[in-house]
């Protein structure tokens, strides 16, 4: 048996380039001979070339074992190669041959200017990222399940679709010994290990972001034409259109690219994707597109204040220098609303979740789960979780799903034998000692209560606007959403000239991905009109 048998393709994750396709790569790279044992990519390092294997074979090493083998016609790398993140695996030559080495900046040119090759590479890279996430590759987080900082770090890397493996100090004695051998006291956990060697002791989100290569906010010597606060669909659309039309643009987000949509397992009614698209993938594609046109991105970059100064606007940031812009687009979206149920905080992150991605699905594989909510987010989560959980109970406060959920989702739920819909039902209690064990739900019509054994509850009951940082600087409605459309202003313009609100944060917005994208792109046309009104030349 061949010790280095080539790994089969996996739904387009490992395609083989044709001779004609390789020839199109050739002008961008350099042919290099390889010897057995050569390291082409190394875990924890960045700035590696994009390699096309011309002859010979390479082995992908993950957790000190051979995970995959690739031969002639295959190419190496994954999504981080386009976004500047560090490598998650090591690639070693196992059979001498030759490779074509293409610099990553050249690869970005190919992706954005050659539709066929660009789509092939993007599809492969995104599938590979999902495979890495589900396999537990990447960095390691070692900490107690009961630690708020462990929960914070896990949520941060999960929201940013960063591959990681969590090692629970409460269950893994080897992890406890490892931390002890590193000379790290319990008070300094959790720890993050990157590349097998770099150890971070309870890092802040910003410190971890820097270590793994997420983009930091950049501060130019002069002002930006456009500062976009929030990187959900609305903010990313504004970033793509603003940068493509020549505006010096920066997009900031406090947590992760993609906003709430980034946590959706599958958006099935977004135009142009008949099979649906994961929210995280949609966001990643938008980031690559925005960077293609020169937009700057910063994560994490939490906006804390907005002030007018010398005819421009200054956005204050937590733990980073302020950023100044001639115009601002507010796309901060909304924050998940929480259940008003005792002991909620005790179980957040330990059985109560506000997103349904592969990471959360891994916590409840083969278990019964509960989803709370009656909107599209709850419906999408229910369908996705039914593929991983043994059963899903959907708890809906109202009497009819059709009031707030799209018909296509209702049809799929009603035809799913693993899903039970419980109408006019609300959560009254959470039960458990240190981790969630069950919920008590009440049928509000019958007045009956029922214990539902579960270790995972997913809450999708709406959201509140992220506008507290705006204080009294801008006009808000009685629910805290940003008001737009004033008599002397432009559509989407707020009570301050040159500041626009788009997406979920805007009062009376539709709260759909497609409409958020539309508003984000529309804002750029209005910004040009604002400049014209002001007699400014950008």
Q: What DSSP string describes 399-437? A: S-GGGTS-HHHHHHHHT-TTEEEE-SEEEEEEEESSSEE
Domains, the chain, with CATH or none = 19-133 (2.60.120.10), 139-212 (3.40.30.10), 224-335+465-534 (3.50.50.60), 344-459 (3.50.50.60)
Residue 149 burial (CB < 10 Å; 0-12/13-18/19+)?
middle
Structure tokens at 444: 């509000």
Q: Report whether pLDDT(421) > 90.
A: yes
What pLDDT shows up at residue 2?
Answer: 60
Closest CA to 24 of 122, 106, 146, 86: 106
Q: Report whether pLDDT(220) > 70.
A: no
Q: Report whether pLDDT(538) > 60.
A: no
What pLDDT shows up at residue 221?
Answer: 61
Render pLDDT for 171-217 as a digit per residue (tens, 0 to 9).
888 888 888 888 888 788 999 998 878 899 999 998 999 898 876 66
How confident is residue 319, by pLDDT bands cut at 50, 70 and 90?
confident
How confident is residue 453, by pLDDT bands cut at 50, 70 and 90?
very high
Render pLDDT for 283-305 as a digit per residue (tens, 0 to 9).
999 998 998 899 999 989 999 99
What pLDDT shows up at residue 1?
Answer: 38
What pLDDT shows up at residue 178?
Answer: 82
Render pLDDT for 232-270 as a digit per residue (tens, 0 to 9).
999 999 999 999 999 999 999 998 898 888 878 788 888
């Amino acid at each position: 048996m061949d010790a280095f048998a080539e790994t089969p393709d996996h739904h387009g994750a490992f395609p083989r380039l044709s001779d004609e396709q390789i020839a199109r790569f050739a002008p961008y790279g350099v042919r290099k001979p390889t010897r057995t044992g050569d390291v082409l990519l190394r875990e924890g390092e960045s700035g590696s070339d994009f390699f096309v294997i011309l002859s010979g074979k390479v082995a992908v090493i993950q957790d000190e074992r051979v995970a995959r083998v690739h031969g002639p016609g295959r190419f190496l790398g994954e999504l981080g190669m386009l976004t500047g993140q560090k490598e998650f695996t090591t690639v070693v030559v196992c059979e001498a041959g030759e490779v074509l080495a293409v610099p990553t900046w050249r690869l970005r040119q190919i992706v954005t200017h050659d539709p066929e090759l660009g789509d092939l590479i993007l599809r492969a890279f995104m599938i590979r990222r999902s495979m890495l996430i589900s396999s537990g590759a990447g960095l390691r987080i070692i900490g107690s399940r009961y630690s708020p900082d462990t929960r914070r770090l896990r949520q941060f890397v999960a929201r940013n679709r960063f591959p990681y493996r969590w090692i629970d100090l409460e269950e893994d004695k080897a992890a406890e010994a490892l931390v002890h051998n590193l000379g790290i006291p319990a008070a300094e956990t959790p720890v993050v290990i990157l590349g097998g060697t770099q150890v971070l002791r309870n890092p802040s989100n910003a410190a971890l972001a820097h270590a793994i290569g997420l983009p930091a906010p950049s501060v130019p010597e002069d002002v930006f034409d456009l500062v976009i606060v929030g990187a959900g669909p609305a903010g990313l659309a504004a970033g793509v259109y603003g940068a493509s039309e020549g505006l010096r643009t920066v997009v900031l987000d406090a947590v992760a690219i993609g906003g709430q949509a980034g946590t959706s397992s599958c958006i099935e009614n977004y135009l142009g994707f008949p099979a649906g698209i994961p929210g995280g993938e949609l966001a990643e594609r938008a980031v690559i597109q925005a960077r293609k046109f020169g937009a700057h991105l910063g994560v994490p970059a939490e906006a804390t204040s907005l002030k007018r100064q010398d005819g421009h606007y200054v956005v204050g940031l937590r733990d980073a220098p302020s950023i100044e812009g001639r115009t601002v687009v507010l796309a901060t979206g909304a924050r998940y609303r929480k259940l008003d149920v005792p002991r909620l905080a005790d179980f957040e992150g330990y059985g109560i979740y506000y997103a349904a991605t592969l990471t959360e699905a891994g916590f409840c594989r083969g278990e019964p789960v509960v989803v709370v909510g009656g909107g599209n987010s709850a419906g999408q989560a229910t369908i996705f979780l039914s593929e991983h959980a043994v059963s899903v109970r959907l708890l809906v406060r109202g009497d009819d799903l059709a009031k707030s959920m799209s018909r296509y989702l209702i049809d799929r739920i009603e035809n799913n034998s693993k899903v039970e819909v419980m109408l006019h039902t609300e959560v009254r209690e959470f039960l458990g000692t240190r981790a969630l064990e069950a919920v008590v739900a009440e049928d509000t019509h019958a007045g009956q209560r029922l214990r539902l054994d579960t270790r995972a509850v997913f809450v999708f009951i709406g959201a509140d606007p992220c506008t507290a940082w705006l204080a009294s600087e801008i006009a808000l409605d009685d629910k805290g959403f940003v008001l737009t459309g004033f008599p002397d202003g432009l559509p989407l313009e707020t009570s301050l000239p040159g500041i626009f609100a788009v997406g979920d944060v805007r009062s009376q917005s539709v709260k759909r991905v497609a409409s958020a994208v539309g508003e984000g792109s529309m804002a750029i046309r209005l910004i040009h009109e604002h400049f014209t009104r002001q007699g400014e030349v950008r």
